[in-house]
Amino acid sequence: MSTSSTPAAGPTRRRLLLGILLALGGGASMPVQSRINGALGLEIASPVGAALISFVGGLLALLLLCAVVPQYRRSVLGIVPVLREGRFPLWYLAAGAVGASTIISQAIVVPLAGVALFTVCLVTGQTFGSLLVDRVGFALGVRRRVSPMRLIGAVLTVAGVLWAASPRLEPGSGMLGLLLPLAFAVAIGVAMGFQAAANGVQAREFGSPVAATLVNFTVGTVLLSIGFALLRPAELGWADLPGQWWYYIGGIFGVLFVVISSLLVRYLGVLLTGLGMIGGQLAGSLLLDIFFPSPGALLHPFTVAGTVLTLLAIALASVSGSGPSRGRRR
C-alpha cells in the first residue's frame, strides 16, 4: 500500500489568506450544524437518531451534487478502483466514524451547555490533535514544522477557549454535572485532527474532496444505522419526527465542513487548517448564542474576549512558516 503522492508545497501569501478565509467560513458551518442537531436530538430524545438523520441528509445532498456535476461524478466512479488498489490503508475510512461521533456529541452536549461551550471544548481538542498530526506527519506523509510562533498560537488558542468557557467554571454554574459530556467533546476534537488528515489523503487519491466526503458520510451512515438499530429498535417512529424542515438540513453544513477541511489540509497543513476552522467555529457559535440562544447558553464578556483572543492567536500562527520540514514519512 502506498500513500506516496508528493505533498503540496507551502502556500503563497495570497493562497494562505484565501485558505484561512475559507477555513473560517467552513468552521462557521459547524456551530450551525451543532445547533440543528442538538435541537433535533432533544426533540426526538435520541442523539443517535439525530446523528443518523443528519448523516442521511448530508449523504443525499452529496449524491445529488455528484449526479449533476460531471467532475464529481467521475471522481466517485474512481472510488472503488482506488480502494481495490490499496492506495491508502483502508482503516483511514474510519474517519467516517469520527464524523458520526461528532454529530452524536453535538446532540448530547449542545442542549446541556449551549453551542459556545460545546465549541470551546471541541476546538480545544482540535488544537492539540491538529498539532500532533502535523508534528508526526500522520497520513499526509509530510511533517510540517511546528515553529515557536505556531506553537504560541496554538497555546493562545487554548487559552482563548478556556477564557471563553470560564463563566461556566464558576461555583454554582452547574459545570460539574457537565464534565463527562464536555470531556467527550474534547476527545472528539482530538480525533478530528486525525480525521482531517485521513480525509485529506482520500481527497488526494480520489481526485476530489467531494468523493472523500461521500465516502466519509457513507461510512458514518452505515455505522449510525447499526447503532440506531441496536439502541432504539422500536422506540422512534415516523410519527415522532418534527415537522419543521430546518431540523433536516444539519447534514448539509457537515458536508461543507468536511469538504473544505479535506480541500485545505494539503495546502495549509492540519494545524493551520484546524486553527482557521476553530476561529470560524468560535465566531459562529458566539453569534448564534447572541442572536439565537439555546436553553443552556450563557453569554458573558469573557466568552467574547476569549473568542477575540482565539482569532488573534490564529492570525499569529498563520504568519509563521507553513511549509514542510525535511523529514518525511512514507
User: What is the distance between the alpha carbons of residues 159 and 165, in angstroms, rounded to a whole number?
Assistant: 10
Q: Is 325 helix (H, G, I), strand (E, B) or coil?
A: strand
Q: Identify the helix (H) or strand (E) that includes residue 236.
A: none
E strand or H helix at 143, and its extent? strand 142-144
pLDDT of residue 2: 43
Read out DSSP for 140-185?
TSEEEP--HHHHHHHHHHHHHHHHHHGGGGSTTSS-GGGHHHHHHH
Phi, psi of 37 (to 5 degrees): -70, -35
pLDDT tens-place string over residues 19-35: 888 888 888 888 888 88
User: What does the pLDDT look like over 268-297, one tens digit per residue?
Assistant: 777 778 778 877 877 887 788 778 776 656
The most confident of the ranges 150-164, 175-189, 231-245 is 175-189
What's 74-87 look like in SS3? HHHHCHHHHHHHCC
* Single-letter residue type at 55: F
Whole-Å CA distances, 265 to 20, 83, 202, 270: 11, 21, 11, 5
Strand, coil or helix: 31: helix
Residue with cell 482530538: 190
**Whole-model pTM?**
0.72
Whether residue 36 is predicted with pLDDT greater than 80 in this model: the reply is yes
Return all residues near 23 (Cβ < 8 A) that are at least 6 apart: 260, 261, 264, 268, 272, 273, 275, 276, 277, 279, 280
- State yes or no: pLDDT of 147 exceeds 80: no
